[in-house]
Amino acid sequence: MARPLKILSVAAEAHPFAKTGGLGDVCGALPLAHHRLGHDVRCVLPHYASVSTHGKATIQNTGRTLSIPVGISNPQAAIHLTHLQNKVPLYLIGNDFYFGRKGLYGEGGTDYPDNASRFVFFCRAALEWCKAIGFQPDIIHCHDWQAGLVPAYLKLVYQHDPFFKNTRTLFTIHNLGYQGNFDVSTLALAHLPAQAFHTQGLEFHGRFSFLKAGLVYSDLLTTVSKRYRQEILLAENGFHMEGVLQTRKDNLYGVLNGVDYEEWDPASDPWIAAPFDRDHLNGKAVCRKTLLEEMNLTVPQKKPVVSMVTRLSWQKGIDLVRDGFAQIMKENIGLVLLGVGDPAYEAFFAKQEKRYAGRFACKLAFDEGLAHRIIAGSDILLMPSVYEPCGLTQMYALRYGTVPVARSVGGLADTVKNFNPDTGRGTGFNFRRFELKYLLQSLRTASGLFANRTPWRRLIRNGMSQNLSWERAATEYIRLYRKALREP
Ligand code: ADP
Ligand code: GLC
């Protein structure tokens, strides 16, 4: 048996303590999957003001503080300890000035102006905390730009420190669209050497890039689906990082995310009105009825309830839905939307709710329970993303017998297969081009099939039978960790 590994997970989100999207789901679930495989895994997370209100776990003060160099000051990091499901230690890196705020990254659609300092502090504190408690990780798994400086510190600041001599890094790209690019002065804030500010280093078009630091200095790179891995190597989806990624192509892997079936299983979901599974679908009808009541909607039995549970950002293809809203509503469907984000989108949907009262309802908030009830109670989940690194909601929808109508990009292309009524195979409906007419076509096909009970049941059972659990992905990551460590 290969030896168990010591793993540190560094990320800005971890469900249930902090989440704005799929990053939180992944970083709350993957460490648990690694724990189940017998590894010693620990997490670090900023101690946001909201942490204590979201998690049910107890939070202990370790009584320890660290002094972290950020620019010309040395702010203190107060460390608290909690656990993921009472199993995986999660250290909260606290500093009220940086993290005692309402939002994770910003408020009212605007980023905090000092996000560079906040995440310089977080990355450096993560490493200093390992030293303080003598936890020598074999692997530091860094997620997205907020953790991007960790590999840079190891290669540029701690390179001669015997403590980290055997530590390797793996950086996962969850979304290339968020890069953490800041002013050059960040170099001094971060205490990183000026010599590293060049095109093969920290510089990105004259600015300092957290994401690029992760891409350049980590030992291995992954992203969250095989399709997205291919897409980001090309200019169309590379967000100008395709050149850097090309140079690291041989060390870049696509590992599809999993689903945490302890959180997302209609047979045991505490958030929903009635349990169901693929052999007992009555509960799904109850969930639909309850959802319509909760959202004040009236939708004929023969017509599907279509839903979106999404960050309201350009990435999610909201423009297509906004521009085609009247035409979508002509389809005589019910539509439910749960989302927060861009204030312009929020204003648009709030207005439509009045215009289409009874047929369209939206909740412009972050509401975990309602997300579950919508995914359980709707018939179709719409995801017309411009790009989608993996996408978790469509994977949840599959398990809940809710049929994805999705644009076939990134992880959506890898997880939603077009239904063919002749063969009875497939799990949803895809369209390729980012145009309203194709979205409408797919929606119409889905909606038409919905009225036809036998093939529809077949379709939803296909989806419900998919096994997209974390075990596969967790094992793939372990294989990559060992590769980085050059272990068999
Ligand atoms: P992304 O990470 O790009 O936002 P994913 O599909 O990977 O997209 O993950 C989205 C996650 O965030 C899912 O768990 C989804 O249920 C959740 N989510 C998104 N918006 C909301 C919201 N307004 N309220 C509750 N959960 C939400
Ligand atoms: C990102 C992506 C999403 C992915 C999630 C978790 O936020 O937008 O597609 O599922 O990260 O990896």
pLDDT along the chain (488 residues), means of 10: 95 96 98 98 97 82 98 98 96 98 93 98 98 98 98 98 98 98 98 97 98 98 98 97 98 98 97 97 98 98 97 97 97 96 96 97 97 98 98 98 98 98 97 98 97 96 97 98 95
In angstroms, what CA-CA distances link 474 with 190, 214, 468?
32, 21, 12
d(CA 388, ligand 2 centre) in Å: 7
Atom of ligand 1 nearest to the CA of 364: 23
Element (H, E) at 445: helix 436-450
How far is C-alpha 207 from the chain's CA centre?
26
**For 6-258+470-486, which CATH superfamily applies?**
Glycogen Phosphorylase B; (3.40.50.2000)
Task: Sort strands 203-204 and 168-173 into parallel, antiparallel or unpaired.
Answer: unpaired
Predicted local distance difference test score (pLDDT) of residue 52: 82
Ligand index nearest the alpha carbon of residue 388: 2
Predicted local distance difference test score (pLDDT) of residue 57: 85
Question: 411 near 432, Cβ under 8 Å?
Answer: no
Ligand index nearest the alpha carbon of residue 256: 2
d(CA 181, ligand 2 centre) in Å: 19
381 close to ligand 1 (CB < 6 Angstrom): no
DSSP annotation string for 223-292: ES-HHHHHHTTSHHHHTT-HHHHHHTGGGEEE----B-TTTS-TTT-TTSSS--BTTB-HHHHHHHHHHH
d(CA 23, ligand 2 centre) in Å: 6
468 close to ligand 2 (CB < 6 Angstrom): no
Atom of ligand 1 nearest to the CA of 19: 12
Reported CATH class of domain 282-464: alpha beta
d(CA 374, ligand 2 centre) in Å: 19
DSSP 184: T
257 close to ligand 1 (CB < 6 Angstrom): no
In testing the pocket of ligand 2, which one of 392, 393, 394, 398 has its CB within 8 Å of the most ligand atoms?
392
d(CA 311, ligand 2 centre) in Å: 11
22 close to ligand 1 (CB < 6 Angstrom): yes
Structure tokens at 393: 């909601």
In angstroms, what CA-CA distances link 15 with 121, 157, 476?
22, 31, 22
174 close to ligand 2 (CB < 6 Angstrom): yes
Predicted local distance difference test score (pLDDT) of residue 56: 73
Sorted by where each begins, the domain ranges of the chain are 6-258+470-486, 282-464
Element (H, E) at 307: strand 305-312
| CA pair distance 164, 168, nearest whole angstrom | 8
Residue bearing the CA closest to ligand 2, atom 5: 22
Residue bearing the CA closest to ligand 2, atom 12: 174
d(CA 311, ligand 1 centre) in Å: 6
Identical fold at 6-258+470-486 and 282-464? yes
d(CA 20, ligand 1 centre) in Å: 7
Residue bearing the CA closest to ligand 2, atom 11: 174
Q: What predicted TM-score, i.e. pTM, was given to this entire model?
A: 0.97
Atom of ligand 1 nearest to the CA of 372: 16
* SS3 category, 420: strand
Phi first, then psi: give them for residue 347, nearest 5 degrees. -60, -40
Residue bearing the CA closest to ligand 2, atom 1: 174
Element (H, E) at 92: strand 88-94
283 close to ligand 2 (CB < 6 Angstrom): no
Atom of ligand 2 nearest to the CA of 23: 6
Residue bearing the CA closest to ligand 1, atom 9: 22
Predicted local distance difference test score (pLDDT) of residue 55: 59
